Amino acid sequence: MLPRRARAPVTGPSPRFVLDPSLTELAYRCYPDGCPRGRTCCVGLVVEVSRREVRAIDTLMDELARLVPVLREGRGFANVFVDDAPDLVIESREDGACPFLFRTRDHALCSIHHVALRTGRRVAAFKPAACRHWPLVLEPERTRVRVTVEPAARRMGCVAAVAELPGWPTVLDAFRSEIAELCGEDVVGR
């Protein structure tokens, strides 16, 4: 089964979050302009999206299809979202890539992120939370929720031991605002 980029699970009104040691043991090596063409987290992953996120992406489709022409179908747009109760997932292309991925000569980029940035829109209002939070994962335990790093991210090279990546931020430092968004300010403030 393909690894999933899941949205934060519903865990009750006020779950207790714990930060896994991997958040400070691993450094995050993401390229600011996207991955080199041959390596990207946007291939081989199932991405969960909410209905609200689908509606937001739909408003960008015309601009997205100018970057990724296969998103256009006749006078409309390809339907790339499939039901996966309770929400939806983005249907991958045959090569396993997300349909919103596009490649320049050197990089692989998210067209949603790119269009939002280029037009001065807020990326977080359009890019699925599951992608913005990658490679964080929330693992429900019996009485609490562990904030940790998706194991596939280490295989892909997004993260590595701090000693192997001098000068790169730890996952905790790189994702403080996302962890605060998911778990509350008090969790990252500790």
- For ligand SF4, the binding residue among 6, 26, 34, 126 (CB under 6 A) is 34
Peptide bond into 21 cis (omega under 30): no
Size of the site for ligand SF4 (CB under 6 A): 20
Toward ligand SF4, which CB reaches closer, 3 or 128?
128
- For ligand SF4, the binding residue among 42, 71, 115, 174 (CB under 6 A) is 42
Positions in 107-146 near ligand SF4 (CB under 6 A): 110, 112, 128, 131, 134
How many Cβ atoms sit within 10 Å of the Cβ of residue 115? 22
Positions in 152-181 near ligand SF4 (CB under 6 A): 156, 158
> Does position 3 bind ligand SF4 by CB under 6 A?
no
Positions in 47-106 near ligand SF4 (CB under 6 A): 47, 98, 100-101
DSSP state, residue 43 = B
CB of 144 to ligand SF4, least distance (A): 26
The token pair at 81 is: 């979202």
189 CB burial (10 A radius; 0-12, 13-18, 19+): exposed
Residues 33 and 107 sit within 8 Å (Cβ to Cβ): yes
**Beta strand 107-110 with 136-140: parallel, antiparallel or unpaired?**
unpaired
- d(Cα 176, Cα 180) in Å, to the nearest integer? 6
Binding site residues, ligand SF4, CB under 6 A: 29-31, 34-35, 39-42, 47, 98, 100-101, 110, 112, 128, 131, 134, 156, 158
